[in-house]
Amino acid sequence: MASLPDARASADGLTFRVAAAADLPQLASWNKQLIEDEGHDNTMSLEDLVARMRTWLATEYQALIFDEPATSADPALPKSQWIPAGACPRMLESGAGMTAAGSASVAYALLRDTPEWVHLRQFFVSRDRRRRGIGARAVALLRDSVIPPDKPVIVEAMAWNHRALSFWRAVGFADRYVGLESRPAASVRRP
What domains lie within the chain, and their CATH numbers? Answer: 7-170 (3.40.630.30)
Q: What is the pTM of this model?
A: 0.75
**What is the Cα–Cα distance from 52 to 85, expressed in whole angstroms?**
39
pLDDT recorded at residue 167: 95
CB-based burial label for 85 (10 Å; 0-12, 13-18, 19+): exposed
Count of other CB atoms within 10 angstroms of residue 188? 7
Residue 15 near residue 7, CB atoms below 8 Å: yes
**What is the Cα–Cα distance from 4 to 8, expressed in whole angstroms?**
9
Nearest residue to 81 (alpha-carbon basis) of 65, 103, 51, 108: 103
Position with higher pLDDT, 10 vs 146: 146
- Give 9's strand partners: 15
Judged against a pLDDT cut of 60, whether residue 83 lies above it is answered with no
The beta-strand segments (E) located in 11-144 are: 15-18, 62-69, 103-113, 118-125
Averaged over 123-136, what is the pLDDT?
89
Q: Sheet of 118-125: strands edge to edge?
A: 7-9, 15-18, 62-69, 103-113, 118-125, 153-155
Residues written for the chain: 191
Ranking 8-12, 38-42, 55-59, 129-133 by mean pLDDT, the lowest is 8-12
pLDDT recorded at residue 168: 95
Ranking 17-21, 51-55, 80-84 by mean pLDDT, the lowest is 80-84
Which helix (H) or strand (E) covers residue 7, if one does?
strand 7-9
DSSP-based three-state secondary structure for 1: coil
pLDDT recorded at residue 76: 52
